[in-house]
Amino acid sequence: MPENKQFPPEGLRPPTAYTIDTLKAAADSGEILEAITQRCGADHTLHFSLDGIAARMPREEAVAPWISGATREIAVLSRVGRPTCFVVSSLQSDAKGAPLALLSRRAAQETAMEFFLEHLEPGMVLTCRVVRLESFGAFLDIGCGVVAMLPIEHISVSRIHHSNQRFQEGQKILAAVYRIDPENRRITMSHRELLGTWMENASRFQPGETVRGIVRSVKPYGSFIELSPNLSGLADSREDLEVGDEVSVFIKNIRPERMKVKLQVIEKLPLTESIPPLAYQITDGKLDRWTYSPPGCEKVVETVFTAP
């Protein structure tokens, strides 16, 4: 089971039935709960309805201080309509005497981060949720809204130009801890190792087959065609191919000793605008070393996970 099960990403926590008694117990224990943010007031206070019990989260409790101040306003506004984790700071009464719960996301995030910095190690597999996609990588919620960076070069072996070619915002994925920077409270993730080795991916294909692929790179000597997120092959150059084209390709040969798949493009296909599915070969545990290359291959591609 992934190593962040105690602090899942926002949106992945099991639902809770809220009563005054459960909220009192949560306030006493510090249990982290979750609910959908209903609205954001003009003062940036977040408002919730916990099974009919009113709850508020002041702006200063919506985002932990170690999140960039430049994005704090949008970070608060963007909580509306989204699952938001929190601890119950206190139970009070509103002006009419009805119960009112005061909540803190900041406290939940700080608790999660302290746990991560103390217990996570490079190579540990986590359940994550994609929260933002950029050309240089993806930002992942690794628990309670704590955001970690997944650089684009660590997304897959098959190279892409933007993280939106591999993920969608809100998508649940798996990723492994790559580096931890306790001083700056930053965690960097890696993803490609979980998608399997060259042999694990190549074993899904046979010479003589014709399959679908995506053009990922066009060079003077040929085009690299992605067959799966961790496997590409080389086809002879064609003037009508562009990056992003979907094509049918004939598999001419597969050479494990050189990690080569030789392809022939049959024809261009209508664009489906779909993201290739992710098939994980590793779903939990802790990696120490991952070798992509087949045994005896001329070129060795591997990842070594080491503690700071």
Note the CATH number of domain 198-269. 2.40.50.140
**20-111, which class in CATH?**
mainly beta
Q: Contacts for 24-28 with beta carbons within 8 Å, 24 or more apart?
A: 24/91, 26/87, 26/88, 27/87, 27/88, 27/89, 27/90, 27/91
Residue 260 burial (CB < 10 Å; 0-12/13-18/19+)?
A: middle
Q: Which helix (H) or strand (E) holds 90?
A: strand 83-93
**What are the backbone angles phi and psi of residue 165, rounded to the nearest 5°?**
-80, -5
**What are the backbone angles phi and psi of residue 230, rounded to the nearest 5°?**
-115, 25
CATH label, 114-195+290-304, candidates 1.10.150.20, 2.130.10.10, 3.30.930.10, 2.40.50.140: 2.40.50.140
- pLDDT at residue 71 in the model: 60
Q: Using CA atoms, how far apart are residues 213 and 80, in angstroms rounded to an integer?
A: 39
- pLDDT at residue 5 in the model: 85
Looking from the CA of 274 toward its CB, the CA atoms found within 13 Å total 9
Neighbours of 107 (CB within 10 A): 19
Q: What's the full length of the chain, in residues?
A: 308
DSSP label at 202?
H
Query: Are 140 and 188 within 8 A, CB to CB?
Result: no
Q: Using CA atoms, how far apart are residues 175 and 140, in angstroms rounded to an integer?
A: 9
Q: Which two tokens stand for residue 1?
A: 């089971």
Please tell me the pTM assigned to this model. 0.92
- Residue 189 amino acid letter: M
Q: Which two tokens stand for residue 44?
A: 């940036």
- List Cβ neighbours of 20 (8 Å cut-off, separation of 6 or more): 53, 91, 99
- pLDDT at residue 190 in the model: 98
Q: Which two tokens stand for residue 55?
A: 């709850």
- List Cβ neighbours of 60 (8 Å cut-off, separation of 6 or more): 106
pLDDT tens track, the chain, 308 positions? 566 788 999 999 998 899 999 999 999 999 999 999 999 999 999 999 999 999 999 999 998 877 655 467 888 898 999 999 999 999 998 878 889 999 999 999 999 999 999 999 999 999 999 999 999 999 999 999 999 999 999 999 999 999 999 999 999 999 999 999 999 899 999 999 999 999 999 999 999 999 999 999 999 999 999 999 999 999 998 889 999 999 999 999 999 999 999 999 999 999 887 788 899 999 999 999 999 999 988 889 999 998 76
Domain boundaries, the chain: 20-111, 114-195+290-304, 198-269
